């Protein structure tokens, strides 16, 4: 397994890409409301990334082995869609939840982040799921430091989620990121502490747990991209790009509108 260690100059490039990514989410936040389509959100994001940020939307035409090229500039996963939802012309309605997943390439570097949005008021179940998934992501982030293990991150997320009565999707995970969209290592959101790869200063990874209100089993939707819960229960995901430092971590996907960390996060 070859894991890239970023230099100081590399990290600065990652900071720029990460900030731009988060700023796209800031802009989209005010547009997520009943009656708006995810296609409209995709167009807004595309125009900002391409015309104002002078950057590239990484998902557009992305084609991993076995997949047709992804046709949009963002992923928009609604309600029981777990990830990779393709934007469409169906209007969002009151009570929907939607994950918007943004990846921006700037000067060759990738920033990758996603947030949950509740359309209108939302149910107590939806609010709880989105809140706890945000907290689960941060339970993983605070485990990051040089010398820690990837299993420490997964264990922290899994323990928190399952104690809250939520299930952890296992087929999709976080990943290394840098010049490549998806690099080594894989960052599982479940596992045992003290296992798997040792974190080293200069590594950049994503932490992006997908938690379901029901069972963890998933399946591929008919479009070949969107992943959905088998029991049609609600699913939520949050994501940040994180730098490993000697003493801890630095979240690279931050901007003025980034939701604040939970109270248990210090430093």
Sign, Cα dihedral of 18, 210, 100, 55: positive
Spell 165-194 as b/e; 16+ CB within 10 A means b. ebbbbbebbbbbbbeebbbebbbbbbbeee
pLDDT in tens, 140-184: 999 999 999 999 999 999 999 999 999 999 999 999 999 999 999
Instruction: For helices 38-47 and 8-29, give the axis angle rounded to 10 degrees.
Output: 140
H/E run at residue 41: helix 38-47
Cα–Cα distance between 175 and 228 in angstroms, integer? 21
Instruction: Assess contact for 72 and 78: CB atoms under 8 A.
Output: no
Cα–Cα distance between 20 and 32 in angstroms, integer? 19
Share of the chain above pLDDT 90, in %: 96
H/E run at residue 153: helix 150-163
231 annotated as a binding-site residue: no
| Residue-range domain boundaries for the chain | 8-251
Phi then psi dihedrals of residue 124, to 5 deg = -60, -40
Shortest CA distance to 179 belongs to which of 252, 103, 109, 107?
A: 109
Instruction: Give residue 266's pLDDT.
Output: 79
Over 60: is that where the pLDDT of 267 sits?
A: no
* List of E strands, 134-225: 167-168, 174-176, 183-187, 204-207, 210-212, 218-220
Over 60: is that where the pLDDT of 64 sits?
A: yes
Instruction: Give residue 49's pLDDT.
Output: 98
Shortest CA distance to 209 belongs to which of 152, 149, 137, 125?
A: 137
Sorted by sequence, the CB contacts under 8 Å of residue 128 that are 6+ apart come out as none
Sorted by sequence, the CB contacts under 8 Å of residue 4 that are 6+ apart come out as 176, 178, 179, 183, 203, 204
Average pLDDT of 89-103?
Answer: 98
84 annotated as a binding-site residue: yes
Over 70: is that where the pLDDT of 259 sits?
A: yes
112 annotated as a binding-site residue: yes
Whole-structure pTM value = 0.96
pLDDT in tens, 24-43: 999 999 999 999 999 999 99
Instruction: Give residue 5's pLDDT.
Output: 98
pLDDT in tens, 176-225: 999 999 999 999 999 999 999 999 999 999 999 999 999 999 999 889 89
Residue 259, phi-psi category: left (phi > 0), alpha (psi -120 to 50), beta (remainder): beta
101 annotated as a binding-site residue: yes
Over 90: is that where the pLDDT of 120 sits?
A: yes
Instruction: Give residue 43's pLDDT.
Output: 98
Question: Does CATH place domain 8-251 in 3.30.70.260?
Answer: no
134 annotated as a binding-site residue: no
């Amino acid at each position: 397994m070859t894991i890239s260690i970023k230099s100081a100059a590399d990290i600065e490039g990652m900071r720029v890409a990460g900030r731009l990514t988060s700023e796209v989410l800031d802009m989209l936040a005010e547009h997520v409301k009943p009656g708006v389509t995810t296609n409209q959100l995709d167009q807004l994001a595309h125009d900002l990334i391409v015309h104002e940020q002078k950057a590239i939307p990484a998902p557009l035409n992305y084609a991993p082995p076995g997949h047709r090229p992804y046709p949009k500039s963002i992923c928009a996963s609604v309600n029981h869609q777990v990830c990779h939802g393709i934007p469409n012309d169906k209007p969002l309605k009151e009570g929907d939840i939607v994950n918007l997943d943004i990846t921006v390439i700037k000067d060759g570097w990738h920033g990758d982040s996603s947030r949950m949005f509740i359309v209108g008021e939302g149910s107590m179940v939806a609010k709880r799921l989105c809140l706890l998934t945000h907290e689960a992501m941060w339970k993983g982030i605070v485990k990051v430091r040089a010398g820690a293990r990837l299993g420490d991150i997964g264990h922290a997320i899994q323990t928190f989620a399952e104690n809250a009565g939520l299930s952890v999707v296992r087929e999709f995970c976080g990943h290394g990121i840098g010049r490549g969209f998806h690099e080594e290592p894989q960052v599982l959101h479940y596992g045992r502490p003290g296992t798997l790869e040792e974190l080293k200063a200069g590594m950049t990874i994503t932490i992006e747990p997908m938690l379901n209100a029901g069972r963890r089993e998933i399946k591929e939707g008919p479009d070949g991209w969107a992943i959905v819960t088998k029991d049609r229960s609600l699913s939520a995901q949050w994501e940040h790009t994180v730098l490993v430092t000697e003493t801890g971590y630095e979240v690279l996907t931050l901007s003025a509108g980034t939701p604040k960390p939970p109270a248990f996060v210090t430093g």
